[in-house]
């Protein structure tokens, strides 16, 4: 005899289910996790280095570096800045997923970390589809990529908490319509926090870091 | 009774097999196909527009525009330049594949085209793994992306025929070590043709177009 069981549970994909486990692991260790996504060359590592510089006195930081190839260029820079860092080599894959982050978390000294920065693979498309379990998500755009990116790669801008626009120092040399860019973002994500910065000059970094501290504090209460 | 048949044929993946069909279709129509890959914002469409401008007197051109979203920003620019253009909306997918190009070829007036330019989705990773059936492949890098991209995204630089380095006009404002960049390329692809250009100023476009004409002529003999 069979019995009908009402199933009200949301069906989670394998990735989402593992992302939830990652989140639980971070919460248990009182670690706030941030996922940073961007195009290749938008300045993910430079922004992370600027962020480390500004936060290192207040927060115990850790970094997970996602790379598509077996190179440690970014991880070396972060380690040189004195951070515990774990590199994920995706072996050619174009995004991090919750399985990969789970593996990295197992190697991280979570008890010694308060804020974990995850640098995703350089890609404006697929990382948007794979939750990692971090507490919030940030995209770094950059001025030379052009003002039309929100229209062309909309998915990555949806559901993120902050948008950094890096390389503001190049604005005088590039045709970049800021109003057009902002309009594209507002359609997709009207509540996103927006930070125009330059990792080269340091412009705007203080505002970004102030937001990050505030955001991290919410999750650490 | 069974007979043993020696199988010497290379086992082709479904994509490679369809790519070969695309190539045969192009060859039958005497159309030379070029696949252009790059990061978001490296200047694929700008380079295509410069190329159209330079070649339109000598060649009958057509363009296939790969986009991850349902926007026609790039296709509109190409159509405004007077070209037959077909847009492929990948529906969020991060690369073109041979199936998609096959669909686009069916919509193209191939009898009226001599050189078909295929603009891939903006992504430095996955497009490298999906042959389309074009006769040659080109990557567009750009100065603001940084000099370390060949080391971080090696697969895309392997097996390409030409490498364009766009946005040379920004070189004075960016820390870009040209020798380091070239060394990274030479390790991966020592025979690649290299063209530093600026779509903004027109610098280097003539050299690129001369190479392209020569290359296209080889396949049209």
pLDDT in tens, A28-47: 999 999 999 999 999 999 99
The CA distance from A58 to the nearest CA of chain B, in Å, is 30
Question: What pLDDT is attached to residue A7?
Answer: 38
Question: What pLDDT is attached to residue A12?
Answer: 54
- Which helix (DSSP H) or strand (DSSP E) does residue B118 occupy? strand B115-122
| Cβ contact, residue pair A170, B144, below 8 Å | yes
DSSP bridge pairs for B119: B36, B65
Residue A122 has its nearest CB partner, among B71, B124, B155, at: B124
Portion 39-58 of B in contact with A at CB < 8 A: 39-41
Q: Is the minimum CB–CB distance between A29 and chain B shorter than 8 Å?
A: no
Distance CA A127, CA B100 (A): 22
Distance CA B119, CA B36 (A): 5
CA distances from B93 to A125, A199, B33, B43, B97 (A): 8, 31, 22, 20, 10
Q: Is the minimum CB–CB distance between A151 and chain B shorter than 8 Å?
A: yes
Name the residue of chain A whose CA is nearest to B46's CA: A146
Q: Is the minimum CB–CB distance between A73 and chain B shorter than 8 Å?
A: yes
Cβ-Cβ contacts under 8 Å, B69 against chain A = 151-155
Cβ-Cβ contacts under 8 Å, A149 against chain B = 40-41
Name the residue of chain A whose CA is nearest to B41's CA: A145
What are the boundaries of each domain within chain B? 14-220
- pLDDT tens-place string over residues B138-191: 999 999 999 999 999 999 999 899 999 999 999 999 999 999 999 999 999 999
Q: Is the minimum CB–CB distance between A76 and chain B shorter than 8 Å?
A: no
One pLDDT digit (tens) per residue for chain A, 221 residues: 445 444 333 445 889 999 999 999 999 999 999 999 999 999 999 999 999 999 999 899 999 999 998 888 888 998 888 889 999 999 888 999 999 999 999 999 999 999 999 999 999 999 999 999 999 999 999 999 999 999 999 999 998 999 999 999 999 999 999 999 999 999 999 999 999 999 999 999 999 999 999 999 998 77
Q: Is the minimum CB–CB distance between B173 and chain A shorter than 8 Å?
A: yes
pTM for this predicted structure? 0.91
DSSP strands (E only) in B39-84: 61-67
Is residue B26 within 8 Å of B135, Cβ to Cβ? yes
CB atoms within 10 A of CB B135: 20
Is residue B148 within 8 Å of A73, Cβ to Cβ? yes
Distance CA B103, CA B36 (A): 18
Name the residue of chain B whose CA is nearest to A71's CA: B152
A34 contact partners, CB below 8 Å, separation of at least 6: A115, A116, A117, A118, A134, A135, A136, A137, A138, A212, A216
Confidence of residue B7 (pLDDT cuts 50, 70, 90): very low
Average pLDDT rounded to a whole number, residues B81-106 = 93
Class of domain A14-220: alpha beta
CA distances from A186 to A137, A192, B36, B70 (A): 17, 8, 31, 18
φ/ψ of residue A117, rounded to 5: -100, 125
Q: How much is the ipTM here?
A: 0.89
CA distances from B115 to A48, B98, B217 (A): 44, 18, 10
Question: What pLDDT is attached to residue B12?
Answer: 53
| Cβ contact, residue pair A124, B40, below 8 Å | yes
Question: What pLDDT is attached to residue A215?
Answer: 95
DSSP bridge pairs for A140: A38, A164
| Cβ contact, residue pair A71, B126, below 8 Å | no
Q: Is the minimum CB–CB distance between A174 and chain B shorter than 8 Å?
A: yes
Question: What pLDDT is attached to residue B5?
Answer: 45
The CA distance from B34 to the nearest CA of chain A, in Å, is 22
Confidence of residue B71 (pLDDT cuts 50, 70, 90): confident
| Cβ contact, residue pair B94, A40, below 8 Å | no
Q: Alpha-carbon torsion B62, B67, B71, B73, what sign? A: negative
Distance CA A210, CA A165 (A): 16
Is residue A213 within 8 Å of A64, Cβ to Cβ? no
Distance CA B116, CA B33 (A): 5
Comparing B215 with A10, the larger pLDDT belongs to B215
Interstrand relation of A115-122 and A32-38 (parallel, antiparallel or unpaired): parallel
């Amino acid at each position: 005899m069979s019995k009908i069981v009402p199933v009200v549970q949301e069906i989670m994909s394998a990735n989402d289910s593992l992302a939830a486990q990652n989140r639980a692991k971070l919460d248990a260790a009182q670690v706030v996790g941030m996922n940073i996504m961007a195009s290749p060359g938008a300045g993910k590592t430079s922004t992370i280095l600027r962020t480390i510089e500004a936060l290192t006195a207040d927060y115990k930081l850790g970094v997970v570096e996602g790379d598509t190839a077996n190179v440690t260029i970014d991880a070396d820079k972060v380690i040189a800045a004195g951070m515990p860092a774990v590199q994920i080599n995706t072996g050619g894959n174009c995004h991090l997923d919750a399985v990969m982050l789970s593996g990295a978390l197992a190697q991280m000294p979570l008890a010694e970390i308060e804020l974990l920065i995850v640098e995703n693979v350089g890609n404006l498309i697929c990382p948007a589809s794979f939750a990692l379990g971090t507490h919030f998500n940030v995209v770094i755009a950059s001025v030379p990529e052009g003002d039309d990116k929100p229209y062309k790669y909309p998915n990555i801008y949806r559901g993120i908490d902050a948008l950094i626009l890096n390389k503001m120092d190049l604005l005088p040399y590039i045709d970049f319509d800021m109003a057009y860019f902002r309009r594209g973002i507002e359609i997709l994500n009207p509540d996103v926090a927006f930070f125009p910065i330059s990792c080269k000059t340091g412009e705007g970094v203080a505002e970004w870091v102030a937001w990050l501290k505030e955001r991290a504090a919410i999750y650490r209460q």
